[in-house]
Structure 1
Amino acid sequence: AATSVARALLGAVLLGLVRHVFVPRPPIYRDLPLRLATSWRKRSSASRAAWAALLGTRPAVLFVGYLAVVMFGYSHNGPPLRISPNEVANLQVRWDAAWYFGIANEGYRYWSTRTTDQQNIVFFPALPTLMRVGGRLLGRTATSLFLAGTLITLGAFFWALTFLYRLVSEMLGNEDAARSSVWLLATYPFALFYGAVYTESLFLLGAVAAFYRLNRGEYVRAGLWGLLVGLTRPNGCFLSIPLAMVAAGPWLPRWLAGPLNTRRPGQCAAPQPSSIGPAIVAAAMPGVGVLLYSAYIWQLTGYPFTWATGHAAWGREYQGLATLVTDRWMWLTSAGVYKYTSELPNDLLNALGALFVVVAAWPVWFRLGPPYAVFILINILPPLAAGGMLSAGRFSSVLFPAFVWLATAIPARQRPGWNATFMAIQALNASLFYTWRDLY
């Protein structure tokens, strides 16, 4: 097959030989190491911090997930889905990952008009499209698709951490805070999804990179990263709001534009008034991504927002924030803390994640700026209002400004303790997730 690994490698070798014949100097064995060394020196701090956080957390979490499967077993005597009798090969076949696998393997299907029927059109195309391409290169089997998905999410997570490090370094002029931000995000209890075949890594990468590029006035790159976010998750369009606040910074009052004085001269400066047009276009690209997918769904189903109404099949219906708060207050006051924590532990875990980012939005507003606080609120409050604590912890994991603030608020001597505590709870969450026990 044209997509086999052997043929692809053979083609690459032949192209390299042809290039060497026509352009013999410098030879690739001399040029490539120099290029890699130059790139490493330019981004050494960010790359090293990202590598350390990636290698220090992702293998451990996956190993804990595997041990939980073989030692604790599954919650219902066996996994609902399986592609292999080998538990290592089957480890990533969990929960929503199966939907992304189905899209990558067979494409989108619309077979029912009832909103109570779960359908794959509610899952956006960025991740399954990349899985399809990667899976074909790796062998076009079910295992190769999940392997491709794993490599994509891990690679995107690494790239996102490098962007986060650079963003924090340039905004705050503090590499220690940047390094701590990377580690706090990687050890966060719900960071387990950065190693699963889920969209968290792609969303985080696109969001951080869009902020970073827009702050630097690189509007085309910012727009492309924003487009990725819009094609990754339904709430991707919300990114346009804080990006527009950054783009319109010169026109906004100081209290709304953010503390620009915390940035070093020439770095992460707000867009200039003369470039407001390109900046606004770049900020709009996350919304464009959602509209592009909606146009495809319109052609498929006859209604552009069928993907939105389809979320009702997963229990996502509007109930309001007031109901969310009053319900839990009534549980606590009537049944007590012990009964709530013992009978609804998964609700407690997700509530703690949601509470962390909502509370963090206040200091983020004053420390990093309103656009970053709005980014937190616009991505956590709507899903809370329309689904309660369902997946609230997972949604909180990508709200990176909360971790940046936490890194600046925690004394250096206390950071190892925070990371260890975060990682311990992440191991618990991984055990629940990989053994098909309720985490949401």
Structure 2
Amino acid sequence: MARDSMGMEMRCPNWKYHAWLPCFWAISIFLCSRAVVALGLVFSQKYLPIATDVWSAGPFWYHQLLQWDSEWYFRIATEGYRYNGDPTIQQNVVFYPLYPMLARGLAAISGLTPADALLLVSNVAGLLAIVVLFKLVREEFGDQLALVTTALLSFFPASVFLSAGYTEPLELLLMVSFFLALKRKRYLSAALLAGLAVADRSAGIVLLPVLVREMWLNRDHKPLFPALIPCVLLATSGIWLFMIYLWYSFGDPLVFSKGQTAFHLGVTQVTRLVAALKFEPFTQLILNDWNPWGQASWLTLLFIVLIFVGWSRLPFSWTLFAMGVLLLPYLTLSGGPAGFTSMGRFNLVSFPLFVVLADFGMRARWLLVGVIGLFSASLFMNAALFARRIWIG
């Protein structure tokens, strides 16, 4: 027996006796989406111009996947962290350490170039994330919804970052693995995964309230704090260990936060927060264009709707997580000059949104086909633009 969208029982006799087949299809779907990305890169290399002074990580076509933040990660992987004491100048201390350090270690062990190591970590993590996501959604809602979820996420326009030199693939893998461990009530393992997630990027901190809530609900009349305290310390270890390193190396444990001002045209964190609380980013929505900035505005509105819809359809911990993933960049970044431009990328790791969207797709197959087709075209466009160092989020 398997379950259709949101838990309805249905018979799938072929899949019952071939349990590996749906997982094979999930991997195949993801690989097809990576073919779209590759086609976008090849198209851009042949037909789109690029400035001669743009930084390049290597000579091969796939090195086009190392753009924008990838350069910072490349510098960390090759040179380590650098800080000259001036938070008004863009410096690499604002970027979290797990991803570039894994690439650095891989390059040292394997002999790969740092550029190739960055891409290998990203692409392997992206593939594993899809496999773990399929397993998690399959256990909760069944094969069909799991396949549709992986299809929507794989072809999502911002999923180009699941192959690029960015932290999102590793973050998605750690976050989905966290929920799989939480489902099995392996709280120490979940806390470790949360700690690694926050060492990868700031979004990992949203896993902490989910962990605390689940431990509280399943305390079984046992003393909670003896188990909770080590889990909280472990779940936040990624950020406080990074802060200790920054304090030891540069004399300021908060330099990773203060340095963000230079990446937002001098707009401070307090100013961005106040603007967000006053809902000022919504006055900057771009709804009359389907360029990457317009996409981000439409997707932000879609994410908000999906969170409200998913409230009654998903486990509450999933909804709480999706809310955290959306609110963190909204409160800390969207009040600055960037507005909603990167919200598609930030919410790429918010897998519950894709589960809710998949549920709608299961109810209207014609709409599902249209959405995946639209996503595919946008994914191709984003890959081509990203390869030419045109900002897509």
Q: Which of the five TM-score ranges fits, normalised by the shorter chain?
A: 0.7 to 0.9
Q: Confirm whether residue 183 of structure 1 aligns to residue 162 of structure 2.
A: no
Residue of structure 1 in register with 2:46 after alignment: 70
Answer whether contact 1:110 1:300 (CA < 8 A) is retained. no
Answer whether contact 2:187 2:211 (CA < 8 A) is retained. no
Residue of structure 2 in register with 1:294 after alignment: 243
User: Equivalent residues in 2 for 1:18-97 (5 A)?
Assistant: 44-45=20-21, 47-74=23-50, 77-78=51-52, 80-84=54-58, 86-88=59-61, 90-97=63-70
CA deviation vs aligned residue, 1:307-340 (integer Å, no higher than 9, x gap): 01111111164121434345237xx8xxxx65xx
Residue of structure 2 in register with 1:263 after alignment: none
Deviation at residue 369 of structure 1 after TM alignment: 2.5
User: Equivalent residues in 2 for 1:229-248 (5 A)?
Assistant: 229-248=197-216
Find 2:371's aligned residue among 392, 398, 418.
Answer: 418
Deviation at residue 188 of structure 1 after TM alignment: 0.7
Q: Confirm whether residue 115 of structure 1 aligns to residue 87 of structure 2.
A: yes
Answer whether contact 2:137 2:145 (CA < 8 A) is retained. yes
Answer whether contact 2:36 2:379 (CA < 8 A) is retained. no
Residue of structure 1 in register with 2:323 after alignment: 377
1:177–1:284 Cα change, 3 Å: farther
How far apart are the structure 2 equivalents of 1:45 and 1:322? 50
Deviation at residue 431 of structure 1 after TM alignment: 1.6
Answer whether contact 1:247 1:283 (CA < 8 A) is retained. no
Find 1:200's aligned residue among 168, 185, 193.
Answer: 168
Residue 166 of structure 2 aligns to a residue in which SS?
coil
CA deviation vs aligned residue, 1:73-102 (integer Å, no higher than 9, x gap): 22xx33520244x35153233111111111
TM-score, normalised to structure 2, is 0.85
How far apart are the structure 2 equivalents of 1:303 and 1:83? 31
How far apart are the structure 1 equivalents of 2:19 and 2:197? 24
Amino acid at match of 1:361: I
How far apart are the structure 1 equivalents of 2:62 and 2:150? 29
- Structure 1 stretches lacking a partner, 5+ long: 1-40, 251-270
Answer whether contact 1:229 1:236 (CA < 8 A) is retained. yes
Residue of structure 1 in register with 2:299 after alignment: 353
Deviation at residue 169 of structure 1 after TM alignment: 1.9
Residue of structure 2 in register with 1:392 after alignment: 343
Deviation at residue 304 of structure 1 after TM alignment: 1.2
How far apart are the structure 2 equivalents of 1:406 and 1:284? 34
1:313–1:43 Cα change, 3 Å: farther
- Structure 2 stretches lacking a partner, 5+ long: 1-16, 335-339
1:139–1:279 Cα change, 3 Å: same
Amino acid at match of 1:285: L
Amino acid at match of 1:400: F
1:354–1:412 Cα change, 3 Å: same
1:163–1:273 Cα change, 3 Å: farther
1:83–1:200 Cα change, 3 Å: closer
Amino acid at match of 2:76: I
User: Equivalent residues in 2 for 1:111-260 (5 A)?
Assistant: 111=84, 113-139=85-111, 144-172=113-141, 174-250=142-218
How far apart are the structure 2 equivalents of 1:182 and 1:279? 33
CA deviation vs aligned residue, 1:175-205 (integer Å, no higher than 9, x gap): 1111111111111111110000100011111
Amino acid at match of 1:108: Y
Residue of structure 2 in register with 1:366 after alignment: 312
Residue 56 of structure 2 aligns to a residue in which SS?
coil
Deviation at residue 248 of structure 1 after TM alignment: 2.0
Amino acid at match of 2:304: V
How far apart are the structure 2 equivalents of 1:184 and 1:239? 23
Amino acid at match of 2:49: G
Amino acid at match of 1:73: P
Amino acid at match of 1:98: E
Amino acid at match of 2:34: R
Deviation at residue 249 of structure 1 after TM alignment: 2.4
1:220–1:119 Cα change, 3 Å: same
1:232–1:387 Cα change, 3 Å: same
Flag the structure with more relative contact order, 1 or 2, with Cα contacts below 8 A and sequence separation at least 6. Answer: 2
Answer whether contact 1:219 1:282 (CA < 8 A) is retained. yes
Answer whether contact 1:116 1:312 (CA < 8 A) is retained. yes
Deviation at residue 285 of structure 1 after TM alignment: 3.1
CA deviation vs aligned residue, 1:202-255 (integer Å, no higher than 9, x gap): 1111111111101111223222211210110023222211222222224xxxxx
Q: Confirm whether residue 322 of structure 1 aligns to residue 278 of structure 2.
A: yes
Amino acid at match of 1:229: A
**For the pair shown, which has the larger CA radius of gyration, 1 or 2?**
1
Deviation at residue 279 of structure 1 after TM alignment: 6.2
How far apart are the structure 1 equivalents of 2:387 and 2:53? 9
Residue of structure 2 in register with 1:313 after alignment: 262
How far apart are the structure 1 equivalents of 2:233 and 2:25? 31
How far apart are the structure 1 equivalents of 2:192 and 2:364? 36
How far apart are the structure 2 equivalents of 1:223 and 1:43? 30
Deviation at residue 293 of structure 1 after TM alignment: 0.9
Count matched residues. Answer: 362
Deviation at residue 137 of structure 1 after TM alignment: 3.2
Amino acid at match of 1:178: A
Answer whether contact 1:79 1:436 (CA < 8 A) is retained. no
Amino acid at match of 2:347: S
CA RMSD of aligned residues (A): 2.4
Deviation at residue 386 of structure 1 after TM alignment: 2.9
Residue 347 of structure 1 aligns to a residue in which SS?
helix
Deviates more, 1:351-360 or 1:178-187: 351-360
Answer whether contact 2:198 2:204 (CA < 8 A) is retained. yes
Deviation at residue 283 of structure 1 after TM alignment: 5.6
